[in-house]
Amino acid sequence: MKRFYVTTAIPYVNASPHIGFALEMIQTDVMARYLRAQLGDKQVYALTGTDENSLKNVRAAEEAGEDVDGFVARHAEEVRSLTPLLNCSFNDFIRTREDRHIRGAQKLWSACKPEDIYKKMYRGLYCVGCEAFYTEKEVPTGLCPEHKKSLEVIEEENYFFKLSNYQQPLEELIASDTLRIVPDTRKNEILSFIRQGLEDFSISRSQERAKHWGVPVPGDASQVMYVWFDALSNYITALGYADEADLYQTFWVQNDHRAHVIGKGILRFHAVYWPAMLLSAGVPLPHELFVHGYITIEGEKISKSLGNVIHPKTLVDEYGVDAVRYFFLREIPPYGDGDYSRARMEDRYAELANQLGNLVGRVAAMSQKYFGGIVDGVQKDWSETERELDARMHAYDVRGYLDRVFEIVAQANELTDKKAPFKLVKEDEAAAKSVLSELADTIRFIGRALAPMLPHTSEEILRRYGTVVLSGDPLFPRRENEK
């Protein structure tokens, strides 16, 4: 790998962001940080943003009694604020109301083969929450499989994309891992969908039904682009696709690793619609899709109606950003669904304090007390462990990566208890210094390994464990409710 381009999906701005999108931002940031350390800062580009041209956003603004422009802009800024809040390192933030995006989306439409786009009358079942049509075969109950709500019956004249032209190429790309989907369960799921036969899909809406909100279809002022056609193009419009900019050439056209991090509910759009559109337009495809699951709260789906929505800022204000990052990365399975609860959050915080924080603190205190912080000497070969961690990272198994790091934390704590340098120093000063030297080397490795996940904590560990080992305040202060 010479370069790496990684993106989050872009959330709708019909409400304030919640912890579900925070998970995706943190996962994406971890990959970007990890590969910057390997490839260099200028060889990695990370993108996030907001999906603003949907009817879902318009209806939410109307329900709130607000102007659509102002409503959308306000919520877009809330999403933008998550980047510094969660200490993420994104290079850019794209709003799909921006001129660079609108021109790029229209260029992609115009670049598609003429025979792939046609106009016809259509009647279908529509979910505004998904911004998607469903066939009666897909929804025998008449309810959206994602939102469990009744679907609207829509009949109007739209433009359609001839998806059926791309069934064989898509199947071959995914089956061969030319377009790699992680995990394999999601790959198999999408191959099964493709093999059932692909149907052409609507790629525009009438101006009236869209309430005159969206990207106009080139050459037809009566229609706006279907939000997914417009939204998916953000991955290239943010790079300057409209103007064939250097950034687009560097990180899309000439790049050997283009990756999207997405939730399982939008897999079909990214693994079928998006590559088909790119094939039609003659634009290179992404190389990889990492598909994560959903977060529930106390076993319930995150829902405004249930009143269980948690803003990421609430957690960061209470626990600190690295503890929040740690919770999402270690508690939530990388490939499946996971649950947030206050009890789980408290347990993970205690884990950080009692395992990592305690190790860093007591080894530093002994090193300072007995040897003035000078305990250099032992340097282990960590190359095998680094290869193991690298394999887990490239499989997007961040939890497995952290599990391995915390095995090392546990081993270091066990060594500290077993060797008891505070006792050993009275009997054999050189032996005690050797133990502390080994522990300090291990802690430095832990600090380096944690850099993509817990950047503040990593920085502080490496600051304290320089040439001279320094003591300091607890990395994770004991909370009031802890015994």
Q: Which CATH number characterizes residue 455's domain?
A: 1.10.730.10
Tens digits of residue pLDDT in 10-54:
999 999 999 999 999 999 999 999 999 999 999 999 999 999 999
pLDDT over 70, % of the chain = 98
The pLDDT of residue 482: 54
Q: Decide: 105 and 215 in contact? Cβ < 8 Å.
A: yes
Burial class of residue 196 (count of CB atoms within 10 Å of its CB; 0-12, 13-18, 19+): exposed
Q: Decide: 260 and 287 in contact? Cβ < 8 Å.
A: no
Task: Please indicate, yes or no, if residue 187 is contained in any of the structural domains.
Answer: no
Gyration radius from the chain CA atoms? 25
431 phi, psi to nearest 5 deg: -65, -40
Q: Decide: 407 and 415 in contact? Cβ < 8 Å.
A: no
The pLDDT of residue 481: 63
The stretches of 113-254 forming alpha helices (DSSP H) are 167-175, 184-195, 227-232, 234-237, 246-248
Confidence of residue 150 (pLDDT cuts 50, 70, 90): confident
Tens digits of residue pLDDT in 264-291:
999 999 999 999 999 999 999 999 999 9
Please state the rounded mean pLDDT for residues 200-220: 93
Task: Please indicate, yes or no, if residue 137 is contained in any of the structural domains.
Answer: no
Write the Ramachandran bin of 299: left for phi over 0, alpha for psi from -120 to 50, otherwise beta: left
SS3 105: helix
Give the mean pLDDT of the chain: 94
Task: Please indicate, yes or no, if residue 192 is contained in any of the structural domains.
Answer: no
- Residue 303 pLDDT > 50: yes
Q: Does 183 sit behind a cis peptide bond, omega within 30 degrees of 0 on the bond before it? A: yes
CA separation for the pair 141, 237 (Å, rounded)? 38
Q: Which residues pair with 48 in a beta bridge?
A: 93
Joined together, the tokens standing for residue 49 give: 């943003």
290 phi, psi to nearest 5 deg: -100, 120
Tens digits of residue pLDDT in 55-71:
889 999 999 999 999 99
The pLDDT of residue 147: 65
Number of domains in the chain: 1
Task: Please indicate, yes or no, if residue 377 is contained in any of the structural domains.
Answer: yes
Count of CB atoms situated within 10 Å of the CB of 311: 16
Q: Which residues pair with 296 in a beta bridge?
A: 301, 339
Task: Please indicate, yes or no, if residue 366 is contained in any of the structural domains.
Answer: yes
The pLDDT of residue 483: 44
Tracing tokens 């050993």 back to the chain, one arrives at 424
The strand pair at 92-95 and 132-134 is best described as unpaired
CA separation for the pair 361, 353 (Å, rounded)? 10
Task: Please indicate, yes or no, if residue 325 is contained in any of the structural domains.
Answer: no
Q: Decide: 197 and 302 in contact? Cβ < 8 Å.
A: no
Q: Decide: 268 and 262 in contact? Cβ < 8 Å.
A: no
Task: Please indicate, yes or no, if residue 116 is contained in any of the structural domains.
Answer: no
| Between 26 and 299, residue with greater pLDDT | 26
Contacts of 446 (CB under 8 A, 6+ apart): 356, 405, 408, 409, 412, 461
Task: Please indicate, yes or no, if residue 65 is contained in any of the structural domains.
Answer: no
SS3 476: coil
**DSSP state for residue 285 in the 8-state scheme:** P
CA separation for the pair 90, 340 (Å, rounded)? 25
Contacts of 306 (CB under 8 A, 6+ apart): 300
The pLDDT of residue 159: 96
Domain extent at residue 459: 353-483
Tens digits of residue pLDDT in 319-350:
999 999 999 999 999 999 999 999 999 999 99
| C-alpha distance from residue 206 to each of 62, 118, 128 (Å) | 19, 15, 15
Count of CB atoms situated within 10 Å of the CB of 222: 11
CA separation for the pair 455, 221 (Å, rounded)? 49
Please state the rounded mean pLDDT for residues 223-230: 92
| Between 122 and 174, residue with greater pLDDT | 174
Contacts of 334 (CB under 8 A, 6+ apart): 27, 292, 396, 397, 398, 399, 400
HSE-CB for 118 with a 13 A CA cutoff: 10
CA separation for the pair 220, 361 (Å, rounded)? 66
CA separation for the pair 434, 447 (Å, rounded)? 20
| C-alpha distance from residue 147 to each of 131, 209, 227, 311, 481 (Å) | 11, 21, 18, 21, 37
Q: Which residues pair with 122 in a beta bridge?
A: 156
Tracing tokens 């529930």 back to the chain, one arrives at 296
Tracing tokens 């050439």 back to the chain, one arrives at 249
Least confident of 133-147, 318-332, 346-360, 461-475: 133-147
The strand pair at 4-8 and 180-182 is best described as unpaired
Q: What is the pTM of this model?
A: 0.93
Please state the rounded mean pLDDT for residues 109-136: 83
